Amino acid sequence: MTPIFVLGLQRSGTTWMANQLAALDSVAAVEAPEHRGVHESIYFSHFARAFGPWKRLESRVKFAQAFILSDYGQLLGLTPELLAADMRVAKGYADLFRIVMDRHARNAGAEAWVEKSPHHTLMYRHLSRDFPDAKFVLVHRRTEGMILSRLSGFGRTPTTGLKRYADITRAAVVNTLFGRYLKRLSRKPNCFYLSYEELHADDGELRTALLGFLGVRGSAEAMESLYQPNTSFDRAPRRPLGKMDRTVMVTAEVIAYAMPLSLLLAAHRLRGALRGIDWPDWCWQKTGYHPDTYGRGAAADQ
């Protein structure tokens, strides 16, 4: 099975891209209607880090309980017996993920599987090492569109005043740095870079090129998401950024272009060290377990 990882920031079109791939008979995905399509696994950013080194039995036991009870594990149909059998032959966290995802794809009659977690975007080096045959689809969105989506995303009421300018500054800096990072990755032979805007304007040529890169069966016409768009504007209308908003955004972008990319990676590592494992509240919705039940902050040997 060919592993496909979709990388990019939240609100940049990663779900839409993954949903289009999942619409193909040749590509399997873990999907949930409440997530409007492909469900994030946060496997490598969270599960593979939270419980300690794979070689420790205690780590594997805690991990197995958490992963089985997670929404992702439930959607995969994992049971204690099935996962225990998988873990007996797995060489580590990454190998186990491949085992369960390959089985999921085989059961779906697919030849590839797609995983989409924005938390994995800065983990390309580790993912490409653990999955040498993987293909990576890199999705980036222009800063203004991403900011507008973030301001109204997840049912939020857009902020105002100094808080709004702080949100715009932070989003512009992060999006610019991540955009530069993804552009650098685009030179890798196992990476395919596209923009949200190109995807919107595509008449089929871009998707056809993507399918050729991935080497999976299907057509551009078949890449039609089965889910409603995961838009930020269900409750808040889309309004363009004002003059002051744009001034703040452009200033932040200029600053971000002057920053070394190594700063992005260093900040990511520091944030992880300080905050530990920050579990999303949707991780265990189906079983009702609280994220604080499980490990926080312990780095694992992967």
pLDDT tens-digit map of 243-278: 999 999 999 999 998 988 888 778 777 876 677 788
Q: What is the CATH number of the domain that holds 86?
A: 3.40.50
Give the chain's domain count: 1
Residue 295 domain flag: no
pLDDT for the residue numbered 298: 36
Closest CA to 73 of 297, 288, 283: 283
Question: What's this model's pTM, rounded to 2 decimal places?
Answer: 0.88
Q: Give the CA radius of gyration of the chain.
A: 19
Is 120 a residue whose pLDDT tops 70?
yes
DSSP state of 31: E
Residue 300 domain flag: no
30-49 in b/e burial notation, b at 16+ Cβ within 10 A? bbbeebbbbbbbbbbbbbbb
Secondary structure of residue 24 in the 3-state scheme: coil
Angstrom distances, CA of residue 78 to CA of 44, 89, 173, 235, 298: 18, 16, 40, 36, 24
What secondary structure does DSSP assign to 83-114, as a single string?
A: HHHHHHH-SSHHHHHHHHHHHHHHHTT-SEEE
Q: Are the CB atoms for 47 and 63 separated by under 8 Å?
A: yes
Distance CA 3, CA 212 (A): 15
In this structure, what are the phi and psi dihedrals at residue 4, rounded to the nearest 5 degrees? -125, 125
pLDDT for the residue numbered 154: 57
Residue 288 domain flag: no
pLDDT for the residue numbered 169: 93
Q: Is the dihedral of CA 5, 72, 19, 121 positive or negative?
A: negative
Q: Which residue has the higher pLDDT, 44 or 153?
A: 44
Percentage of the chain lying above the pLDDT 90 cut: 67
pLDDT confidence of 302, banded at 50, 70, 90? very low
pLDDT tens-digit map of 200-251: 999 999 999 999 999 999 999 999 988 877 654 444 455 678 899 999 999 9
The DSSP H or E segment spanning 139 is strand 135-140
What domain range includes position 228?
Answer: 2-233+240-283
Residue 301 domain flag: no
Residue 294 domain flag: no
